[in-house]
Copies of this chain bind each other. A is one copy, B any other.
């Protein structure tokens, strides 16, 4: 089976700039989030469990954002009209992000991709990837707030394939850690030297 490339998805692009975040910075964050090899294994299993549920997960997340005008605003023109092409473009990369979170090694390339995602929330790079006219940035407070819904809504999907309760819980905790870790990385361009 082959897949069409995802527009704007640069994970394997050799021209993706390196992240200013070092391997030492990442080690400090994995320690602070208690992220360990057990979580790597649990996320690998989660990747298998979630593989054919991506569209349903995105339906839940997009339903959540779409039902809150103050959140949909970040996918809309400055005048408040939702930009369908933008919603659709982000959606494909968001689906791939679920897979990457579960299956990619958290190495220098992954850090480069996290930095790219980070910048795409800020005035440095928002809107440019999809060539859309929208508001200039996503406020940092919502990146942090979304740790809750992006974590909590995942549990039923992790439980949907009949794994034992302890396995579901291990996958869910690993997911929670991985989301928290990534939001910490995405905060970098917002905070400058105090990051």
Q: How far does the Cβ of A125 sit from chain B's closest Cβ, in whole Å?
A: 13
Q: How far does the Cβ of A127 sit from chain B's closest Cβ, in whole Å?
A: 15
B contact residues around A194 at 8 Å (CB): 122-123, 137, 139-140, 190
Q: A4 contacts the other chain (Cβ, under 8 Å)? A: no
Integer count of this chain's copies in the complex: 2
Q: Are A148 and B123 in contact (CB under 8 A)?
A: no
Q: Are A195 and B141 in contact (CB under 8 A)?
A: yes
Closest to A183 in B: B144
* Bound Cα distance A185, B141 (Å): 7
B-contact 0/1 string along A179-190, CB 8 Å cutoff: 011011101101
Q: A71 contacts the other chain (Cβ, under 8 Å)? A: yes
* Bound Cα distance A85, B180 (Å): 31
Q: Which of B68, B123, B144 contacts A180 (CB 8 A)?
A: B144
The tally of residues in A whose CB lies under 8 Å from a CB in B reads: 39
Contacts A28-B70, A32-B68 given; does A191 touch B146 at CB 8 Å: no
Q: Are B148 and A34 in contact (CB under 8 A)?
A: yes
B-contact 0/1 string along A154-195, CB 8 Å cutoff: 000000000000000000010011001101110110110011
* Bound Cα distance A184, B148 (Å): 11
Q: Are A33 and B149 in contact (CB under 8 A)?
A: yes
Q: A1 contacts the other chain (Cβ, under 8 Å)? A: no
State the A residues within 8 Å of B (CB).
Answer: 25, 28-29, 31-34, 68, 70-71, 122-123, 137, 139-142, 144-149, 151-152, 173, 176-177, 180-181, 183-185, 187-188, 190-191, 194-195
